[in-house]
A = this chain, B = another copy of it.
């Protein structure tokens, strides 16, 4: 089934201890699409400026992304500049130029309106709500958000949250949103805000998924070489939503698989700069790494005591 993503398409300048890339193809919707297109057909709803390089757009075309919802506005494109320290855990934002993002008013073209799966990337919650307003046919809706919206746009965020089926956020954000440091209690508080499903990203420690009284722990695969963590969370969401859209199966046991496919895509995403690794990735490599996750996580049943 088709999958809509709304989010940023950016020119990223990133420096890590392992190298630097200048104005590479980036943004939440970009990393999401690069991962999700391995599983499902993706419709992109985003904005770029008049200076956005055609070669970057060619990447989306090469993945057969529906670009009818990609609007090009006068003015320069959204740019982000960041730097990672030795441990690669924290991104220091050096510069954010919102540019055309300030005028972004998402419109779903007719070819996109009835997609059965929608992912609302990390943007202003009132823009996320506008997408929900336009989406027809009762789709499955998931969203991401961040500290900035949780702290300063809480009211708008809570309104949007009420209307989605799944929230995908990182651990610190989950605690902040719930105002509760115990993750189990926080997960309950968040699911009372609207989304029945909650996926908590924990970086190198993997992810947790919560649904009713069930919990699933996806392991983090220890990696030898991590060059650039930018977009890890977005490619995670892309693999996760991609698998759900591909299968159309919303059972918790299939969500577990989806979380693993998300983890697989994130683990590839960080191995090289920008989209370099995802660009040359093969479907067989995805399945092979999925099996690595099986080996990593699985163990035998315990003893049945007499």
Residues of B with C-beta under 8 A to A304: 287
Partner of A305 from B208, B223, B284, B299 at Cβ < 8 Å? B284
Judge if A152 is at the interface, Cβ distance under 8 Å. Answer: no
The answer to whether B283 and A302 have CB atoms under 8 Å apart is: no
The answer to whether A224 and B300 have CB atoms under 8 Å apart is: no
The answer to whether B302 and A260 have CB atoms under 8 Å apart is: yes
The answer to whether A216 and B302 have CB atoms under 8 Å apart is: no
Considering the chains assembled together, what is the distance between the CA atoms of A214 and B296 in angstroms? 8
The answer to whether A299 and B297 have CB atoms under 8 Å apart is: yes
Oligomeric state, in copies: 2
Judge if A61 is at the interface, Cβ distance under 8 Å. Answer: no
Of the four ranges (under 10, 10 to 19, 20 to 34, 35 or more), the interface on chain A belongs to: 35 or more
Residues of B with C-beta under 8 A to A226: 182
Cβ contacts A60-86/B at 8 Å (1 or 0 each): 000000000000000000000000001
Residues of B with C-beta under 8 A to A133: none
Residues of B with C-beta under 8 A to A187: 222
Minimum CB–CB distance from A54 to chain B (whole Å) comes to 32
Q: Which of A's residues lie within 8 Å of B, judged by CB?
A: 86-87, 181-185, 187, 202, 204-206, 208, 214-220, 222-224, 226, 253, 256-257, 259-261, 283-284, 287, 290-291, 294-305
6 A-B pairs with C-beta separation under 8 A: A214-B295, A216-B296, A219-B219, A257-B299, A260-B299, A297-B298
